[in-house]
C-alpha cells in the first residue's frame, strides 16, 4: 500500500485541505513512494515476489481505470467524494480487523 489511506485523512482533518485536492495530492505523492518501495520488495525479500504476467494484465485495465477515475473526480460534488472515501475506509478497515 502506498500510504494514500494515511495521507488523505491527514490532509483533510489536520491541514484543512479540500477532499478533492487531498485525493489528487495523495495519488501524486504515491508515485515516488511506490517507486522507492518496489526495489525494497524486490531485493530485500528472500526472493522477488512478482508475477509479471499477471501484473501486465492488471496494468492494462488499471491505467484506463485510473485515467477515468481521475477525470471523474472533478465532476462529482465534494461531499459525495468524502462519502465514497468513508465507504472505502470502512470496507478496508472492517476487512483488516475481521480477517487480517
Should residue 64 be labelled a site residue for another protein when binding is judged by CB under 8 A? yes
Q: Is 96 in the site for another protein (CB under 8 A)?
A: yes
CB of 96 to another protein, least distance (A): 3
When asked if residue 100 is in the footprint of another protein (CB under 8 A), the reply is yes
- Cell match 490532509: residue? 11
Residue 77 engages another protein in binding (rule: CB under 8 A): no
**Binding of another protein at residue 48 (CB under 8 A)?**
yes
Of the candidates 14, 3, 22, 16, which has an alpha carbon nearest to the alpha carbon of residue 82?
A: 22
Angle at CA 49, nearest 5°, toward 46 and 55?
165
Residue span 7-26 as binding mask against another protein, x where in contact by CB under 8 A, dash where not:
xxx-xxx-x-x--xxxxxxx
8 burial class (0-12, 13-18, 19+ CB within 10 angstroms)?
buried
Q: Shortest distance, CB of residue 91 to another protein, whole angstroms?
A: 9
Amino acid at each position: 500500500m502506498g500510504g494514500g489511506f494515511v495521507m488523505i485523512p491527514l490532509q483533510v482533518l489536520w491541514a484543512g485541505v479540500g477532499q478533492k485536492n487531498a485525493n489528487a495530492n495523495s495519488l501524486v505523492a504515491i508515485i515516488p513512494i511506490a517507486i522507492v518501495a518496489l526495489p525494497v520488495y524486490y531485493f530485500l525479500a528472500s526472493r522477488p515476489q512478482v508475477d509479471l504476467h499477471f501484473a501486465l494484465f492488471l496494468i492494462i485495465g488499471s491505467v484506463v481505470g485510473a485515467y477515468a477515475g481521475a477525470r471523474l473526480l472533478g465532476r462529482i460534488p465534494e461531499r459525495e467524494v468524502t462519502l465514497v472515501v468513508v465507504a472505502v475506509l470502512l470496507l478496508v478497515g472492517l476487512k483488516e480487523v475481521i480477517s487480517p
